[in-house]
Amino acid sequence: MAENDDKPIVLAACGASGQIYARWLLKLLLERGRRVHLIVSREVNAICADELGIPELTYELPDQTLEVHENDSMESPLASGSYSTAGMIVCPCTLNTLAAVSTGISDNLVKRAAQVHLKQRRPLVLAVREMPLSLIDLENMVRLARAGAYVSPLAPSFYHHPKTIDELTRYTAERLIALVADHELSFRYDGNREC
């Protein structure tokens, strides 16, 4: 067992299109027995209803390992560096959240937990969904990469020949998980496929 396998993973979903990625992350992490701390911004559930036809971002398992935190709850243990985690994935990450984290603003739990991961030198993955990117956005990404974050735009790959949106988004979610935890990908490119 890897050193961080018993530590929880923080998953934060911001109010952007692309909640299907967050849903896959949550599903895959819980199915692999990982403890997950979920932070959901105010707009997420409305977007889930619109894009996915579900009332909220959640996933149920009989032996529940999910703990949900309110985004305005700065009393959460996730706001403190003394609470140890394996890492944090912000997905989808809005440009607003990206900018706030890059400048040290932590006025909600998503931003504060991200700041904690940076200062504690724990893996922080920012899965940015929006496009196009302005020079300001790119400079924020550079600042965060220099600070140790993984800036991972949600740009799905196609070399595994996905047949469905679920196959496309699931593989992207698996790649994000692999940045913070031991995770075997469901597909590996063998280099033999042609366009």
Tell me what the pLDDT averaged over the chain comes to.
Answer: 92
> Model's pTM, two decimal places?
0.93
Cis peptide before 92 (omega within 30 of 0): yes
Q: How large is the average pLDDT for residues 162-175? A: 94
Q: How large is the average pLDDT for residues 35-59? A: 95
Query: Which band of pLDDT confidence, cut at 50, 70 and 90, is reported for residue 171?
Result: very high
Q: Reduced to 3 states, what is the DSSP secondary structure of residue 135?
A: helix
Q: How large is the average pLDDT for residues 16-39? A: 95
* Within-domain flag for 185: no
pLDDT digits over 107-138, tens only?
999 999 999 999 999 999 999 999 999 999 99
* Within-domain flag for 187: no
Q: How many domains does the chain have?
A: 1
* Within-domain flag for 191: no
Q: Which helix (H) or strand (E) holds 89?
A: strand 87-93
Return d(Cα 195, Cα 187) in angstroms, integer: 18
Task: State which amino acid sits at residue 193.
Answer: R
Crossing angle of helices 109-119 and 95-102, in 10° steps, is 50
**45-48 long-range Cβ contacts below 8 angstroms, 24+ apart:** 47/15, 47/16, 47/17, 47/19, 48/19, 48/23
* Within-domain flag for 184: no
Q: Reduced to 3 states, what is the DSSP secondary structure of residue 17?
A: coil
Return d(Cα 163, Cα 145) in angstroms, integer: 33
Q: How large is the average pLDDT for residues 69-92? A: 96
* Within-domain flag for 6: no
CATH of the domain at 72: 3.40.50.1950
* Within-domain flag for 122: yes
Q: Reduced to 3 states, what is the DSSP secondary structure of residue 151?
A: strand
* Within-domain flag for 137: no
User: Residues 176, 25: contact at Cβ < 8 Å?
Assistant: yes
55 is in which domain, residue-wise?
15-132+142-177
* Within-domain flag for 85: yes
pLDDT at 1: 35
